[in-house]
Amino acid sequence: MNKRNFKPADAAELYQVPNWSSGWFRVSDQGQLEVTPAPGLHAPLRAIVDEIVDRGESLPVILRFPQVVAGRVRHLNEAFRKAIGEYGYSGHYQGVFPIKVNQRRAVVESVAAAGYEYMHGLEAGSKAELALCLAQKLHPDALLCCNGFKDDGFIKLALWGRSLGKNVVITIEKFSELDRILRQAKVLGVRPAIGVRFKLHARGSGQWEESGGDAAKFGLNAYELLRVVERLREENMLDTLVMLHTHIGSQITDIRRVKVAVREATQTYAGLIAAGAQMKYLNVGGGLGVDYDGSKTTFYASMNYTIDEYAADIVYTVQEVCKARAVPEPVILSESGRALTAHHAVLVMPVVDVTGPTRDIEEVPPPTEESHQIVRDLADILENITARNYREMYNDAAGDKQTLHNLFDLGYVTLDDRARGEALFHAILRKIAKLVQNEKYVPDELEDLQQVLADKYICNFSLFQSLPDNWAIGALFPIVPLDRLDEYPARQATLVDITCDSDGKIEKFIDLRDVKATLPVHEVGKEPYYLGAFLVGAYQDVLGSAHNLFGKVSEAHVFVRPGGKFTIDLFVRGQKARRMIESMGYEEPMLRDSIEDQVDAARRAGTLTPAQEYELLEDYGEELLGYTYLEYEDAGMEDIPAPEQGSDMAPADAPKVAADKAPKAGQKDFIER
């Protein structure tokens, strides 16, 4: 890319925005990253963040866009409608959202509202989730699927749901659950609707391939499946068996695996009908992927198909098998969660500091007359590197550096010599990096050069709380600066969080052909610099941990309006320090009493004045009520541009208020955690 004529279109290509965003985000001609939840609607993310900061709220923050959730629900359902129409399929499609993917109220309610006309339902995998689902407003024919292992309480609650007129189906995960369901149904006098999960021989692809197959955690084998049919026939309740459920894993990367699994599932469905069951629903489970890296491949962070192709292949395969077996075409269900929610959430991470191997060295200190010969040798290497000899020079420099450290350990090299030698070595690496950056072939020993020289951008967030999948399973999320995308990003960086844990870092980034070791970023100046982690709306909210007692991040629920305008309809402040401390078994009064006793003792001992005593207690109390993340009251605030015109959250010149004060003017709703 041409550094001098760098344009927003170049940034879009560099960060692969068109490839992973599926049209929900774009780089504007002004170099701003914008959300685009519908045709004609767009809003710059930086303006939204500036509005939040201008009102006195602290970062980091998660931006949620319910319109994107609604758009994803419509896209999935319309894709199946289109395929059903094209193939003349006699059944229909009903989606089911597994709320384990994201139980946040705004997310579940957005799915339910957008899916009402499509009879889109919900899936619960626990008693708590079922209690949540029963309270939602769903279409009367929408499915409420109860998956997971169940006790009597879970089953009773599901049966009561049927008494309320909801289309609740209890899925048998292990054979022993059948008698439990039948017993509770007789006690309550409620006729159940029963589904059964079958262990397919077929397996998915990607990181969750082990979810399917004979060794899967959930489901019945073929013998147990037929035992369910016979047991229900004995009870004269065979008509209650209405659903066959299968699942081969999350984030399926290869569409061929989907087709193989659906074919086996449909054959099983036909077999159950042949055995006398009156089946209605064929639930093909979850697995619809998200293209996190935009490569459209079978790589674990991608998928080699679109939603439309997914729907068409499922409808075609089910119809083909049903015609061959001469059985009725079922209502097709899928339990897509990741594909519906991933795109709607963006984690905004402020960069609070930058470190690097030589960032603080303005110029390389030359050797002096007293410098060790090793230091002089490194200075000679730096001066004589060329495009022809850089590989030889690198190997010489690497050997000299190792010798330098060995001599230092033995006491033959001074600290000053070590400092000069290391500075010269990094200068050598930087010079070599410039020589090889445009080379088609890079020697093996120099492949990691860019990562070695990369800056570390310290971001105000906790990896364990906000991006746990990156830490736990190496999941990739697109990370992009929110603005300055009309400027060439001249720095390369890895990201580190503010936890006291060496694992709190991001060193792998998306790329079309491979996984990059560094992220292109801009030099950080006086103005705040924000990075956005995208596609974080699935699983990250519920899997986050409280490492170092960093709590839930604040959330802004944003509605985009015509003309580039937006409103923040709901702002949920992140967890306070005292809430995190109390979750560990402590009580706030106990903490305050302990500090007050120590303060009294210090004042009597003369180490605190009365004024200091008051100030210490006040500061301690404020921190208990404060955000668990770093808060810089004046860092770069004078350089933050005014909020973009058109925001309806509050006037741009409204006075700033502390983070623990009352809700903001113009804000429709407010929640304190």
Which residues define the annotated binding site for substrate? Answer: 282-292
Query: Binding site membership: which residues?
Result: 282-292
**Distance from the Cα of residue 263 to its chain's centroid:** 32
Provide the token pair at 435: 């020589």
Confirm if 258 and 303 have CB atoms less than 8 A apart. no
Question: How far apart (Å, rounded) are the C-alpha atoms in residues 288 and 310?
Answer: 8
The DSSP element (H or E) to which 593 belongs, if any, is helix 588-605
CA distances to 151, 196, 292, 312 from 178, rounded to whole Å, are 11, 9, 40, 34
Ordered alpha helix ranges (H), 235-349: 255-274, 307-325, 338-341
Output b/e per residue, 220-241; b: 16+ Cβ within 10 A: beeebbeebbebbeeeebbebb
Question: How far apart (Å, rounded) are the C-alpha atoms in residues 495 and 395?
Answer: 29
Structure-derived torsion over alpha carbons of residues 283, 284, 287, 288, reported in degrees to the nearest 10: -90
Q: Which residues, at least 6 apart from 71, have a Cβ–Cβ distance to it below 8 Å?
A: 24, 37, 38, 114
Ordered alpha helix ranges (H), 177-254: 177-188, 222-234
Confirm if 69 and 563 have CB atoms less than 8 A apart. no
Instruction: Identify the residue whose tokens are 């007129």.
Output: 165
Ordered alpha helix ranges (H), 191-248: 222-234
Q: Which residues, at least 6 apart from 84, have a Cβ–Cβ distance to it below 8 Å?
A: 91, 92, 93, 315
How do strand 281-283 and strand 33-38 relate by DSSP bridges? unpaired
Closest CA to 439 of 399, 391, 397: 391
Closest CA to 257 of 198, 340, 215, 314: 314
Confirm if 51 and 653 have CB atoms less than 8 A apart. no
Question: How far apart (Å, rounded) are the C-alpha atoms in residues 422 and 452?
Answer: 13
Phi and psi, residue 173, nearest 5°: -95, -25
Closest CA to 317 of 366, 274, 364, 258: 258
Provide the token pair at 6: 């760098």
The DSSP element (H or E) to which 605 belongs, if any, is helix 588-605
Closest CA to 149 of 103, 197, 212: 197
Provide the token pair at 86: 């094209």
Closest CA to 131 of 111, 165, 172, 161: 161
Provide the token pair at 113: 């509202």
For residue 521, the tally of other CB atoms under 10 A from its CB is 24
